[in-house]
Amino acid sequence: MRIVALGGIGEIGRNMTVFEFDGKLLIVDCGVLFPEEHQPGINVILPDFSYIRDRLDDVVAVVLTHGHEDHIGGVPYLLKERADIPLVGSRLTLAFIEAKLKEHRITPKTIQVKEGDRRTMGGFDLEFVAVNHSIPDSLAVAIRTAAGMVLHTGDFKMDQFPLDRRITDLAGFARLGAEGVDLFLTDSTNADVPGFTTSEKDLAPAIDAVFRTAPRRIIVSSFASHIHRIQQIIDTAHRHRRKVAFVGRSMVRNMTIAADLGYLNIPQGLLVDFKKLERSDDHKVVLICTGSQGEPMAALSRMANKDHAIRISEGDTVLLASSLIPGNENAIYGIINALTEIGANVVHKGNAKVHVSGHASAGELAYCYNIVKPRNVMPVHGEWRHLRANSEIAVATGVDPRNVVLAQDGVTVDLVRGRATISGKVEAGLVFVDGDSVGGITEEDLVERRRLAEEGVVTVLAIIDPDNGDLVEVPEFFTKGFSCSDEDLDKAGAAVEKALRDAASNRQGGRRQDPEEIIERATANWMRRFYNRQPVVTAIVVDA
């Protein structure tokens, strides 16, 4: 069996792993990665489907471990290439992906499973195991083939007191371990955090304190899929006799689905439309919205920028009930500063115990290794520091260091006769979604965008005699995001004129150089020499 991660290794997000056996392909998860500051204009980042694009007919199913965007967000783009790939997942996970696909006008073929179910898809015998995470209905999957058994945890932790009382099935892990797990793919996100992850229930006192002391409105920002946290907010609001409203399309959609399916319990009369809350007393109001990661278009970011129907004012309390995803720190602290400037009291993980991770810490991982006793280990879902820490835990619990595979996106791992080894590498680059364009933007384009943002742009309009290539009049300069005096622009014009004369005198065999290139090069060189800047230079040449 061949295992290829097309995303999710060396990064937090874009999770997608392809399993190949006997000519058939099984995909586990297909998520997105959210862009960082150095990727301006990008909506999301997809796994690279190049490896499987010519073999889409061989894909027997996509197994979705849970409903977070970094595990299901790429599914619409995959199904646009082959719409009838079966999606296998739990009830809530499928409900979330079906709602998402509806926006893309795709009706998927779905197969609903639950913990304890066993299904055969192509040559893959799949068994599903309950795991606890920050979203209900999460599943691990055991994949059996004639080449051996792989156990993929998905995202998980071992909270012994979860809000929904659905704990990670350690007995199921032990049973699979006794049968013989040939390769263990384990969540690495918190592998460098000692001990055990704090229980969700331990947040209740801090959240209650926020509600007890807030003098005016409470605005809670969370992931639109974090049902457990939102349930805690709803329960606390009910105790403090505050009305609740959901704000933001994804929040309203997901919470409606969760409530309809029975995963979210909302007391009768508690939930109202946020427009009606404008007429309520401030101390009786709770707004739950998206934007905890500083996303520019999310509700909280727009509130902070005073670009939303809801205006945050002095005395309001803003509760950020999510963790900081690596790479989002600057955006999040920018939101916190903007809200604080308005006069809001911002409560977040840094100053109160209002969030716990959904991932297993080092102690829990060690516990799982001792239960499963895998022959081979392949850490997944994490940056390099997480992967390395996870591999060290595996070795400390007795796994042979030679049987720990530290792979990266695109690396092929072959499981043969109970031994997992790296066998090669395939293309697994970043695929950027830019508006309605998928894959059209390259890293070179992003370099150009960063230059535009950081250095500005200079446009040179030159009128040239087509017969001899001379300037008919002084070139005109138009600048955006770049400051330059008129006197200096005259000097830049002289540099352009000299460059054109030199090019004409150096012309060989009657071959004429492109005047646009000459002007752009001369202008860029002058700007770099005298301003120590590198604006994007564009030349427009008009024949006289």
Question: 434 among the known binding-site residues?
Answer: yes
Domain count, the chain: 3
Question: 155 among the known binding-site residues?
Answer: yes
Structural domain includes residue 352:
no
Do 440 and 434 form a contact (C-beta atoms < 8 A)? Answer: yes
Q: Are residues 214 and 185 in the same domain?
A: no
Question: 152 among the known binding-site residues?
Answer: no
Q: Write out the residue range of the structural domain in which residue 512 sits.
A: 456-543
Last residue of a domain, one of 386, 411, 438: 438
Structural domain includes residue 328:
yes
Last residue of a domain, one of 298, 322, 347: 347
Question: 228 among the known binding-site residues?
Answer: no
173: CATH: 3.60.15.10
- Which token pair is 522? 């001369």
Question: 38 among the known binding-site residues?
Answer: no
The contacts of residue 455 (CB under 8 Å, 6+ apart) are 481, 482, 533, 534, 535, 536
Measure CA of the first residue to CA of the last residue in the chain; give whole Å.
68
Question: 356 among the known binding-site residues?
Answer: yes
Q: Each residue of 208-218: pLDDT tens digit?
A: 999 999 999 99
- Which token pair is 280? 């309520």
Element (H, E) at 350: none
- Global pTM? 0.86
- Which token pair is 91? 């009830």
Do 353 and 206 form a contact (C-beta atoms < 8 A)? Answer: yes
Strand 24-28 and strand 419-425: the pairing is unpaired
Question: 470 among the known binding-site residues?
Answer: no
Q: Are residues 76 and 16 in the same domain?
A: yes
Q: Are residues 79 and 134 in the same domain?
A: yes
Residue 357: its pLDDT value, please?
87
Angle CA 77–135–291, to nearest 5: 70
Structural domain includes residue 118:
yes
Structural domain includes residue 28:
yes
- Which token pair is 435? 């508006």
User: How far, in Å, are 77, 205, 262, 280 from residue 266 at the CA level?
Assistant: 34, 20, 10, 19
Positions in the chain whose pLDDT score sits under 70: 291-297, 323-329, 507-512
Q: Are residues 7 and 148 in the same domain?
A: yes
Q: Are residues 50 and 177 in the same domain?
A: yes
- Residues known to be catalytic: 187, 359
Query: What are the start-end ranges of the E strands in 248-300?
Result: 285-289
Q: Are residues 106 and 251 in the same domain?
A: no
Phi-psi sector, 38: left (phi>0), alpha (psi -120 to 50), beta:
alpha
Structural domain includes residue 343:
yes
DSSP type of residue 165: -
3-state helix, strand, coil in the chain (%, to 5): 35, 25, 40
Structural domain includes residue 449:
no
What DSSP string describes 456-517?
-EEEEEEEE-TTT--BSSPPEEEEES----HHHHHHHHHHHHHHHHHHHHT--TTPPPPHHH
What DSSP string describes 400-430?
-GGGB----TTEEEEEETTEEEEEEE-----
Q: Are residues 28 and 142 in the same domain?
A: yes
**Distance from C-alpha of 93 to C-alpha of 68, rounded to nearest angstrom:** 8
Q: Are residues 109 and 91 in the same domain?
A: yes
319: CATH: 3.40.50.10710
Q: Are residues 75 and 171 in the same domain?
A: yes
Question: 283 among the known binding-site residues?
Answer: no
Residue 326: its pLDDT value, please?
58
Residue 293: its pLDDT value, please?
61
Last residue of a domain, one of 390, 412, 438: 438
For residue 414, give the amino acid letter.
D
DSSP type of residue 198: P
Structural domain includes residue 444:
no
Q: Are residues 218 and 336 in the same domain?
A: yes
Q: Are residues 190 and 204 in the same domain?
A: no
What DSSP string describes 66-101?
---HHHHTTHHHHHTT-TTPPEEE-HHHHHHHHHHH
- The sign of the dihedral angle between the CA atoms of 20, 124, 421, 29 is positive
Q: Are residues 340 and 368 in the same domain?
A: no
Structural domain includes residue 162:
yes
475: CATH: 3.10.20.580
